[in-house]
Amino acid sequence: MKTVLSIGFLFCCTLLFLFLDSSSSLPLCVDSRAPFTLNTTLKFCPYNGSTCCNSIQDAQIQKQFQQMNVSDTACSSLLKSILCARCDPYSGELFTIQSTARSVPVLCSSAIPANSSQSKASLQDFCSQVWDTCRTVSIINSPFSPSLQGGGGLPANKNSTKLNELWQSKTDFCNAFGGASNNESVCFEGEPVALNNTDTPVIPPHGLCLEKIGNGSYLNMVAHPDGSSRAFFSSQMGKVWLATIPEEGSGGQLELDESSPFVDLTDQVYFDTQFGMMGMTFHPNFANNGRFFASFNCNKDKWAGCNGICSCNSNVNCDPSKIGTSNGAQPCQYQTVIAEYTANGTGSNPSSAESAKPTEVRRIFTMGLPFTSQHAGQILFGPDDGYLYFMMGDGGDSGDPYNFAQNKKSLLGKIMRLDVDNNIPSASEVSKLGLWGSYSIPKDNPFSEDKDLEPEIWALGLRNPWRCSFDSEKPSYFFCADVGQDLYEEVDLITKGGNYGWRVNEGPYPFTPTDSPGGNTSIKSINAIPPIVGYNHSQINKNEGSASITGGYVYRSTTDPCMFGRYLYADLYAGALWAATEDPENSGNFTTSKIPFGCAHDSPIPCDSGPGSLPALGYIFSFGQDNKKDVYILASTGVYRVVPPSRCNYTCSQEKASTAVPPSPSPSHASHLSNFNGYLFLQLSSLLLLLMSFIC
């Protein structure tokens, strides 16, 4: 019996060690939720971008700090940083050790040698600094009380307010509150946690695991601005649905009623292979104003509202009478439109709306298209500036013969940036101002530096930008996938006034047009920005002899920690996926790898099998991102979500999971555990400790 207990003890210790060793530092808040992104810095705590605090929590921390009534300036500064650590994206690890919630974060201490994963080569002994600075300072309602930490200090005295009244010595204090940074944990050194650039492995993930949650085919997905688990999905035909997304791992499917769309714009939208509803977006203040926008194509022969100016005109050295189209249509018979609509919610709560009328509130933009392809059409609001970005292709025909993409007076082959909130001209003023619709021009658009540019233009030299996105943690990173012609598909990092080379270049290669009625641009006359990553057509197994890139998102969810920080994109026809990694961080240098993918064995909807039993995604139209930053693939065969790698038996050393987990947890717990790996870590640690105490 004694031998059995010894073996059991050894097994539990080994299992616990392996489990603890498999963990690694991930952004996670104290409440086990993923951090979110703020557009501004908090008023009290020095956090912006990714954080675990909103303005209300920031104000609560400020109130707590003020009630402590700390008179010493140096100690006061340290105490503020410690309280504000609850806003740190890594606060889940800083404030929780071995399932025990702490009153203060783990203070970096030299008592334990550090295998430093944090930003400084040699972490300061912050714990000693706190003791030395605050040892004799009175702190009312001190967070350093032994009773809050679990005991170990001097005998309790309700009147004690100083560290040397609560703790015997610096050693006792730092044994209670101190710790070191290593590959499995982080500690607090008085500033927001910053990990080394080398923390992000350059080795690509072993595989991307997908679960299928819907059978519909959609072109756009936009998370509901209210922050809930709802999202809007739209079809190329012009219908928009409001859907509820199930918790990951719950076994649920997308809750969407195809017979009851949120709004139906099919009467305005012209739908064909190259035409349809190409984009939708919701105003940043949608919760209060109910404003949303749709980008679509129309046919002026079928709808009187299709009445914009032709993009082929004398201002851009283009004669519409000399343009021929492949299907016999007249130049600018088809147009691109951005229209504004309003939700039918209550006046005080538009977010509650479950439907909207297909009646335009305002025409934002209309422009006639010279040819019948390559007109992109995505729209989205900038997370930092609140302006509307509009992606426009070169208008079509092989090789952009009229050189629209390089013509600074043409809006084709451009990314535009419009203000739809301020100083909006009336319909009668639009033509007088030279605008293409009802919007104003942001004063810091590139035309202020390059007088030759049309004022709407933010970036130029694109062929057909198909799906762009801002990095939710680094909004200055604006990614666009640009569809190539015959040779190369590219991803560009878009900057103000950037010229991305088409049709002087196709990706990194020089391009020679076969027809140039619109003239040529010399490569020496532009400062073309090369793509950050891409692929040759010869590198993929093409379906139907074609290749066409589909842009995605920088993965910022904790669901798949091995994908975190990587830009995910795909090919429309090949059904292939890639992940691009910036190395080193903030360098602008990216490497990319094709990523294998599989279907979760417990997918709510079984994935259709393709070659080698891989999920048959069909055509990959687009990507989506929900309010938890989980990423979705919108394919012709359905809606797929990226889920934890372990659900496909892929190995990810950063995934906080263990073989000791029961194989079939209840759906309610499965959802919670798979989304919040920190919670899983705490629960399993407690379970293993309990087993050890029972056996021993």
Q: pLDDT value at position 39?
A: 66
**Amino acid occupying residue 83:** L
Quote the CA–CA distance of 34 and 106 in Å, as a whole number: 20
Whether residue 561 is predicted with pLDDT greater than 80 in this model: the reply is: yes
Q: Is 432 helix (H, G, I), strand (E, B) or coil?
A: helix
Orientation angle between helical segments 2-21 and 677-695, nearest 10 degrees: 160
Q: pLDDT value at position 97?
A: 65
Whether residue 201 is predicted with pLDDT greater than 60 in this model: the reply is: no
For the structural domain made of 230-539, what CATH number should be given?
A: 2.120.10.30
**What separation in angstroms does the CA of 306 have from each of 170, 319, 370?**
76, 21, 14
Mean residue pLDDT of the chain comes to: 84
Looking at the chain, the domain(s) classified CATH 2.120.10.30 span: 230-539
Q: What is the pLDDT of residues 234-263, one digit of tens each?
A: 999 999 999 999 999 999 999 999 999 999
How many helices, marked H, and strands, marked E, lie in the chain?
12, 34
Q: What is the pLDDT of residues 576-634, one digit of tens each?
A: 999 999 988 888 889 999 999 999 999 999 998 776 667 889 999 999 999 999 999 99
Whether residue 151 is predicted with pLDDT greater than 60 in this model: the reply is: no
Degrees, nearest 5: CA angle 179-180-186: 100
Q: What is the pLDDT of residues 108-124, one digit of tens each?
A: 887 554 444 554 434 56
For every residue of 648-660, DSSP letters joined together read GT---TTS---TT
Q: What is the pLDDT of residues 258-285, one digit of tens each?
A: 999 999 999 999 999 999 999 999 999 9
Closest CA to 640 of 204, 34, 208: 208
Contact in structure between 337 and 379 (CB atoms under 8 Å):
no
Token readout for 131 is: 């003791």
Quote the CA–CA distance of 370 and 403 in Å, as a whole number: 12
Instruction: Read off the pTM.
Output: 0.68
Quote the CA–CA distance of 131 and 126 in Å, as a whole number: 9
**Amino acid occupying residue 618:** G
Confidence of residue 158 (pLDDT cuts 50, 70, 90): low
Quote the CA–CA distance of 4 and 310 in Å, as a whole number: 85
Q: 448 CB contacts (<8 Å, ≥6 apart)?
A: none
